[in-house]
A and B are shown apart, each in its own frame.
Chain A
Amino acid sequence: MPRIERVAEVSWEGNVARGAGALTAASSGAFSGLPYSLASRIGSPEGRTSPEELLAAAQGGCFTMSLATELSQAGTPPERLDVRVVVVMDEVAGEGHRVVSSHLAVRGRVPGIDAAGFARATEAADAGCPLSALVRASATVTVEQTLEAG
């Protein structure tokens, strides 16, 4: 199997409370110079991304690809999947800040499948998405699914 590398770069200036960082998708160039700070990470985002938001986006991307695979292998490739991921970070006594949960809400438009089949594919995708498995080792990962009428 090929080894695939993806790189991101961050510059940070100053201390954590008053400093600020900028982050760049170095492999693809898909985004660059995105600002972030402590205030926008733990308080109101004010238009700035954060490590936890990037984790939510990564997990959403990974999960949709896993679910597309499961549905295609079952002979029912999806017309459309919509996934909304909410990652929660909280302060845990004695451990500082931790990612405590990640919730995925999935809506699918999938010709030729019934609700039970869609639920099975969603479960398989949850088990098969490597990022969900990683996050689940230390946080609660939950998935809810809705099959839209064709």
Chain B
Amino acid sequence: MATERRAEVTWQGSLMEGAGTIDRVGSGAFGPLEVTWASRAEDPAGRTSPEELIAAAHASCFSMALSHALAQAGSAPQRLSTSATVTFVPGTGITAIALDVVGRVPGLDEAGFREAAEGAKNGCPVSKALAGVPEITIAARLEGE
């Protein structure tokens, strides 16, 4: 079954002097959020940016895919902590995404966790949508009980 998700954005003025707002999203989970070129390309100053939203999309998609893969392999995670770092070069676009996950997964060794993380990195829908990013990396480790 197809799932639709929606966002609405407004921009006023030129790129450098203007400003935008992510007015609302279909779920109502956040917004309005301000965006500007300065906060995208320089100091965020409390404002999100397309690249930060991509980081959030990728980290959340990856975590869900990894929990699914671990549960299917018989070792559902107690907890996964994931960060995604998106590197943006103006004029070029997103050049790299670095995923970093720390898991608490009873009954699984490091090699098994790294293998599952690699699979989730390749398989989650956002990873497939962003497959054109030149470098997507994953670092995975287990934390002690």
Contacts and interface: CB of A to CB of B under 8 A. Distances in A.
A148 B41 CA distance: 30
A6 B67 contact: no
B2 A88 contact: yes
Given A14-B77, A30-B48, A79-B12, A98 B128 contact: yes
B6 A56 contact: yes
Contacts, number: 333
Nearest to B41: A4
Nearest to A79: B12
A115 interface: no
A8 B129 contact: no
Given A61-B20, A81-B11, A138-B128, A6 B49 contact: yes
A2 B55 CA distance: 18
Interface of A: 1-17, 19, 21, 23-31, 34-36, 38, 40-43, 45-65, 67-69, 71-72, 77-91, 95-100, 130-131, 133-135, 137-139
Given A4-B51, A19-B77, A58-B54, 7 more contacts: A2-B90, A4-B87, A13-B79, A24-B56, A45-B29, A53-B29, A55-B53
28 contacts: A1-B91, A2-B41, A3-B88, A5-B86, A7-B52, A8-B84, A9-B81, A12-B81, A14-B78, A15-B71, A25-B52, A31-B30, A31-B33, A48-B29, A49-B25, A51-B125, A52-B3, A53-B7, A54-B60, A55-B5, A60-B9, A62-B50, A65-B20, A69-B14, A78-B11, A88-B4, A130-B93, A131-B50
